[in-house]
Structure 1
Amino acid sequence: MRTVVFYENTPEGTMEKMMEVFPKHQENEDQFVNAGKIIGIGPFSVPGQGAMGIFTDRESAEEFVKNDPFVSEGLVTYTIKDWVDDLEEK
């Protein structure tokens, strides 16, 4: 089962602040991508509407969020949902 993380920007999550923290966020993301724990991740097409990531499992998603400076700096809130990927078994 895959796990999806949805991020929503907080009022503190201005573009200026996001860009300031982004290099630390990118380091965290790169570690998970290189470990094969992220299937896809990125912002929605309209700026300020948040982002989502698809993870290989819930443990990876929870670990990512725990280490993400966007979360620890209060720039985003998040929701984690388990997702049954019909193509996963094929």
Structure 2
Amino acid sequence: MKVLMFYELAEDGLSKARAHATSHQARLREFHGRGVLLMAGPYGAPPVGALGVFTSRAAAEEFARDDPFMLNGVVGKCTIHEWNEDLA
């Protein structure tokens, strides 16, 4: 089982993203380096949100709790869902 974390941009989130991108990306690299974040990235053109694939709910919650995008109003909504991947 994996855990999906969905970010939805705040109404004015895109305009705030650039100012916090470096610290957000550092957090992504930290969690990926620990092996608890498998992949992440924005979706939509232009972006309307982002998706992260984590190894546990605890890791996804920890990431979101102190993510600069969450703390500085880039993200308007965060949801976390369990995902039973099926490779068949």
Q: Same fold (TM over 0.5)?
A: yes
> Number of residues paired by the alignment?
87
Structure 1 runs of 4+ with >6 Å offset: none
Name the residue aligned to 1:11: 11
Post-superposition CA distance 1:28-64 (Å, at most 9, x none): 1110010111111000141231110000111110000
Distance (Å, rounded) in 2 between the aligned partners of 1:75 and 1:49: 11
1:21 CA drift (Å): 0.5
List gaps (5 residues or longer) in structure 2: none
- Residue 70 of structure 1 and its aligned partner are, at CA, apart by 0.5
- Structure ranking higher in strand proportion: 2
Secondary structure of 2:11's counterpart equals coil
Q: Which residue of 1 aligns with 2:68?
A: 69
2:31 equivalent in structure 1: 32
Equivalent pairs: percent with the same residue? 38
Query: In the aligned structure 2, how far is the partner of 1:69 from the partner of 1:43?
Result: 15
Q: 2:80 aligns to what? A: 80
C-alpha RMSD of the superposition: 1.5
TM-score norm. by structure 2 comes to 0.90
The amino acid across from 1:82 in the alignment is E
- Structure 1 unaligned runs (5+)? none
The TM-score normalised by the length of structure 1 is: 0.88
